[in-house]
Amino acid sequence: MDDEQSIKAIHRALDLGITFFDTADIYGAGHSERILGKAIGIHRKEVVITTKFRNTFNESMRKITGRNASREYIQAACESSLKRLGTNYIDLYQFHLGDYDPSKAQDVLEELESLVQKGKIKYYGWSTDDSQRAQLFAEGEHCVSVQHQMNVLDDAPEMIKLCEELNLASINKGPLAMGLLSGKYKGNSILPEDDVRGVRSPEWMKYFREGKPNPECLQKLNMIKEILTSNGRSLVQGALGWIWARNDKCIPIPGFKDPDQVEENASSMLYGLLEQQQMRSINDILTR
């Protein structure tokens, strides 16, 4: 990515009223945090910055070196993120190890509470797709969220129920199904080998298989495409409208590469939520 293009995109987001920015220390091996901090600049008090921790990595080599959730590492990771972001506090600090041993989670929670008391962070949450783990963290006084996978093709009813019961924000990663819901990929599309969705994609990459869109996902998308693009919406805007209509706890975090993508994402607000009848129709079509 071109850094100046990324900064322009963030500035365009600010112009359009976007105030919630999600990143992680591992994204770009620290580079994403540096670019976000540089772009936010004097607008720091106007936005919510959330970042994540779990991996040890070599920033100069851009290489993951391991995982660590010790109290000492959490402190060090937080200080490093603060420095890269150019800020003296993090609004929301998220545990990025979704499958971490629940029996050890209390130590992580206590260290995050310590960071709150020190003024390093305001709140924290767990980035996990497991509702039981999310419930463990929710016992903490300053736990306010869980980040989990959810989009119109991949609902998360159990997690949404938990967020309602415990008054947690549901931060939705993958709202556009790793780009599949952009509408630009067809059955014969082939992703580059070095793309996370490419032929060597990890096991969790459910929306793309062997470097191509997952046929099952494409079929589902084609079945509900007419609803998502109703009233002049693009597929992206329909997908975001579905999340907002799913529950008022939901906060989708669509990615972007340039100002044009930011504008398409932000324009979803002009269309608003899908109607409840449309939501029911999608559930009926997808038999869920």
Give the strand order in the sheet containing 143-149: 20-22, 48-53, 90-95, 121-127, 143-149, 169-173, 250-252
User: Count of CB atoms within 10 A of residue 65's CB?
Assistant: 10
User: Distance from first CA to last CA of the chain, Å, rounded?
Assistant: 38
From the list 27, 73, 89, 271, the catalytic residue is 27
Q: Which residues of 171-180 are buried (b: 16+ CB within 10 A; e: fewer)?
A: bbbbbbbbbb
- Residue 27 designated active-site: yes
Helices 71-85 and 105-117, axial angle in degrees (round to 10): 50
Considering only CA atoms, which of 152, 144, 158 is closest in space to residue 283? 152
Instruction: Return the SS3 of 26.
Output: coil
> How many Cα atoms occupy the beta-carbon half-sphere of 133 within 13 Å?
21
Considering only CA atoms, which of 270, 112, 244 is closest in space to residue 170? 244
Q: Which residue has the tokens 């129920």?
A: 161
Q: Angle 121-253-79 (CA atoms, 0-180°, nearest 5)?
A: 25
- Which residue type occupies 207? Y
Q: Give 36: exposed, middle or buried? Use CB within 10 Å, 0-12, 13-18, 19+.
A: buried
Q: Which residue has the tokens 């044009």?
A: 260
Which residues belong to the active site?
A: 27
